[in-house]
Amino acid sequence: MSNFSLRVIVLEDHSFQRAFAVNLLQQLGCTEVFQAADGAEALAILNEVGPVDIALCDLRMEGMDGLAFLQAVGHSGLVGSVIISSSLSADLRRTVRQIISLLNLELLGDIGKPLHYETLERLLKKHHSVPRTGTLPEQPRVLPDESQVRQALADRGLCAFFQPKFILETGEVTGVEVLARWREASGKVLSPAFFMPVLERCGLLNELLFQQLHESLALQQQLKAFGHELDFAFNLHATQLTDETLATRIHTLLVEYGVRGSSLTFELTESGLLQAPETSLECLFRLRMMGCQLSIDDFGAGFSSLQRLYQLPFNEIKLDGEFARAMMQEPRCHAVVSSTLALGEKLGMSVVVEGIETDEQRQHLLNMGCTQGQGYWYARPMSGGDLVRWLDETQPRSQRA
């Protein structure tokens, strides 16, 4: 018998199924198991006994239902993780999963009914390997102020990391996405969530972009000398497109480094694309006139506008990684991937699927006709030096060097 030192509350209005769930959890060695017939009773119990590690929760109940309960405990610290056990249709459960992600709750699994010992055991093990977002919340790190960010830019503390984009069938690297990271003096690397809001608020996005361009174009030349010809992709924010000098400055850099515009791609997120003012059309037009590629990033993560898709001069769609992760379990996600591949073909746009984490996903995408991807299955973001070494170890050199 397993032994999990966990506090769990079971929300289930069917008395037999509730007793069965409690019995399974006790067999698995959970130290304390509470039970409630609806959300109101569960809240009363939690107010009395304190936080629990996991809520095993049905959704459709008389009285306060499971969704109302989750909304009540979200951000409260009373529940750490959630396991959904419901007979509702897949589309409704998918909506609840999205809501849970917004409530500062960790979703361990959506297991339907009936419950099985092995499935519950696997999810309880998973609980020990994921961050505890509810019961023991980490102290959030304070965002840096403008002076700290400016100093990091001046000291080159905001550095470029590179994540390869590859051909699914052969593993050939076709390019890299340039990502921003903050490397502290201690060596710790911080994600963009820590500093990008400050850069945006203080109007420093272009300064970061041109630092990345200088670093990346120099690296691109170095890689070409070593026999690796790669395209480099940079992220743009919609507000940057209103800068009338942006395209001209990028053209100056292309001349300075002697590179073709077609070796650069600029990515805008779908949500940013929808926010982009009409004046941004000129900037996008000029980038394409210079030969640069334009990519719609995180496609499908927002509310897609097909009108904007055909109005703006994009030639690549990057499908949000959530679809790759869910497509084999969710028929609707599978349909979105298939439809986007077909849409890209009809519009003459290449489609890159992000978030590929397993070979099974890669093979499935290949069978659907997808040719290009990006994700941890192939390579994580890495520094420029690491990229050079990694390419030499994994990629054949071009005869054009």
Q: Please give the positions annotated as active site.
A: 354
Which one, of 235, 231, 246, lies nearest residue 284 by Cα? 246
Across 337-362, b (16+ Cβ under 10 Å) vs e yields beebbebbeeeebbbbbbbbeeeebb
Give the 3-state secondary structure of residue 38: coil
Q: 85: which 2 tokens?
A: 């056990």
Residue type, 177: E
Contact 378, 356 (CB under 8 A): yes
In this structure, are residues 377 and 360 in contact, taking their beta carbons and an 8 Å threshold? Answer: no
- DSSP three-state, residue 84: strand
d(CA 236, CA 86): 42
DSSP state of 205: H
Q: Contact, 109 vs 149, CB < 8 A?
A: no
E strands along 252-349, which residues?
A: 264-269, 293-299, 316-319
